[in-house]
Amino acid sequence: MDELDLLKKDWNSGNTEFKSYSDSDIYPMLHKKSSSIVKTLFYISIAELAFWLLAGILPYFLSSNFKEKLETSYENPLFLGLSILSYIVILLFIYLLFKSYKAISSTDSAKKLMENILKTRKVIKYYVIFNLAMIFLSIPLSLYFEYNENPEFHQQIIEFSTNQMLVLYGFIILVAGIFLILLWLFYRLIYGVLLKRLNRNYDELKKLEV
């Protein structure tokens, strides 16, 4: 339980010693907490960027087969464009979070702090939606690239019966669904917990503005 929660608990307990706290006393606590949360989100986003970079770089140097497939995939403009777009979005996300952290750290107005919290919430929301959409697209696109670049896989697909094709489509949907759920749970765990605390700070600020 943090400092603000302890203060609220003692305040509600009826102890008159704590009723002398005013809005001007509570606001710095909310300001400090919000700044700390956004700073943590910023560090997590950097860690996520490092993870995806390592996930792409290490197999490239450790596996000649992966290296060959990746180089072949990058010859496709669509695959290359989506890969570049993904990293641009991550870098943009990091920049916007850092900008939010600086804005929250420097503001001295409760109303301005609320606006910055709302902006931070939107940034995280759109980032999560983008990543879920990329996962949804990446699986069928990967199969499409494999179909065009791998002659053996291409021949197998051609020889599939109608029932086998239905099974394949069902498998693609199932795998895409599983990855979407896992990614959603990941972001809900990592970003959702901190975002919930940020939302709680926003609600407390709204009470101060009343």
For the segment 23-35, the average pLDDT, to the nearest whole number, is: 77
For the segment 14-40, the average pLDDT, to the nearest whole number, is: 70
C-alpha count within 13 angstroms, C-beta hemisphere, residue 140:
9
Residue whose C-alpha is closest to residue 119's, from 103, 143, 133, 138: 103
CB 42 within 8 A of CB 98: yes
For 85-141, the pLDDT digits (tens) are 888 988 999 999 999 988 888 777 778 888 888 888 889 989 988 888 888 787 777
The angle formed by the CA atoms of residues 34, 36 and 40, to the nearest 5 degrees, is 115
Token digits for 95?
A: 């920049």
For 32-42, the pLDDT digits (tens) are 888 888 999 99
Q: Quick one: pLDDT at residue 19? A: 43
Averaged confidence pLDDT in the chain: 79
- Whether residue 71 is predicted with pLDDT greater than 80 in this model: the reply is no
- Whether residue 20 is predicted with pLDDT greater than 60 in this model: the reply is no
Q: What is the DSSP-derived secondary structure letter of residue 188? A: I
Could you tell me how far CA 15 lies from the centroid of its own chain?
Answer: 42
Q: Quick one: pLDDT at residue 95? A: 92
Token digits for 97?
A: 């979070």
Burial of residue 151 (CB within 10 Å: 0-12, 13-18, 19+) is exposed
Q: Quick one: pLDDT at residue 16? A: 45
| Separation of alpha carbons 31 and 175, rounded Å | 43
Start-to-end Cα distance in the chain: 25
- Whether residue 21 is predicted with pLDDT greater than 80 in this model: the reply is no
Q: Which residue has the tokens 């986003």?
A: 45
Q: What is the DSSP-derived secondary structure letter of residue 95? A: H
